Amino acid sequence: MVFRSIFDAPEIRSEFEKAGVSLQFIPVIWKHVVKNPTCEWDDIPSLPSAAYSVLRSKFRPLTSIVDSVIDSSDGVTTKLLIKLQNGAFVEAVVMRYDSRLGRYDGKTRPGGPRSTLCISSQVGCKMGCKFCATGSMGFKSNLSCGEIVEQLVHASRLSDIRNIVFMGMGEPLNNYTMLVEAVRVMLAPPFQISPKKMTVSTVGIIHAINKLHKDLPGLNLAVSLHAPVQEIRCQIMPAARAFPLEKLMASLQAYQKESQQKILIEYIMLNGVNDEEQHAHELAKLLETFEVVSDLTGE
């Protein structure tokens, strides 16, 4: 029998409702599991008897395990290889930094140590981007809500996670329903991560962008643009053929007008492909009416 993760929010809500168990017990259970991921259900005190019955028959505290942990030589980055119950693997990466480094307006920056978690949303990816290792795998499967959230549970045992970026394996907006459910779990107790501290990156799935702000208001949007014209974009991102640049930019304009938030534009500069002066001028023209934050990477 395949058990579900306790963090599969739609399933635990449905099963509790059928059993007549109040949904107010769900955050209590989540809090206990986050603190005690190897617990047994009987370890959680003061639940209704019907709740224990549902939990024992259908759910596990965690359905994934950390197969390996690899630290970078400078200790700033930690990669978790996570094995799912079906035997597949996904990666999550903890990135640490100190927001006090550097100066702003002549003054020391406020803040302190921070940890950001890069989360996967799929096993493999169907987008086929030429610069992405996951793209060469092809698409294997979507992650469930629980499998997405469990990455945060595992990472939280290594570091105090303050920020979430959906920039790991997979195209998050191609697993839209589970993405939305997982983010809503992370917004709620016991995690209570602010939507301003979460970013979803996409190659530009237009129909999903069009409803993202309504479903997840306040969330940050990042777009893997990587080229200022459709022809080059299709060359390095084959999936861009389904999302013409003109229509994508119109969608982003509508998103920004509705959300009143800046959009993060991601751009990998590939030698001799999209890094000429002409491309810089075209990019500036393309984005001149937007409020954006840029993330440029060179290869």
H or E segment and range at residue 215: helix 206-215
| pLDDT tens digits for range 112-144 | 788 999 999 999 999 989 888 888 788 999 999
Task: Please tell me the distance from the alpha carbon of residue 268 to that of residue 83, in angstroms, as a whole number.
Answer: 30
- pLDDT range class, residue 299, cuts 50, 70, 90: low
Q: What is the pLDDT of residue 187?
A: 97
Report, as an integer, the average pLDDT of 179-184.
98
Residue 298 has pLDDT above 70, yes or no: no
Q: What is the pLDDT of residue 295?
A: 67
CB distance 45 to 22 below 8 Å: no
In 22-52, which positions are buried (b, 16+ CB within 10 angstroms) versus exposed (e)? eeebbebbbebbbeeeeeebeebeebeeebe
Report, as an integer, the average pLDDT of 172-201.
98
| pLDDT tens digits for range 34-70 | 999 999 999 999 999 999 999 999 999 999 999 999 9
Q: Which residue has the higher pLDDT, 7 or 106?
A: 7
Q: What is the pLDDT of residue 16?
A: 98
CB under 8 Å to 126, separation ≥6 — which residues? 138, 139, 171, 174, 239
HSE, side-chain direction, 13 A CA sphere, residue 135: 12
Report, as an integer, the average pLDDT of 218-223.
97
Residue 102 has pLDDT above 80, yes or no: no
Please give the structure tokens belonging to residue 231: 């022809």
Which residue, among 213, 119, 222, has the nearest Cα to 163 in the 3D structure? Answer: 119
Residue 108 has pLDDT above 90, yes or no: no
Q: Which residue has the higher pLDDT, 165 or 126?
A: 165
Q: What is the pLDDT of residue 100?
A: 79
Q: What is the pLDDT of residue 133?
A: 84
Report, as an integer, the average pLDDT of 65-79.
96
Report, as an integer, the average pLDDT of 185-214.
97
Report, as an integer, the average pLDDT of 156-176.
96
Residue 228 has pLDDT above 80, yes or no: yes
Q: What is the pLDDT of residue 270?
A: 94
pTM of the shown model: 0.94
Q: Which residue has the higher pLDDT, 227 or 101?
A: 227
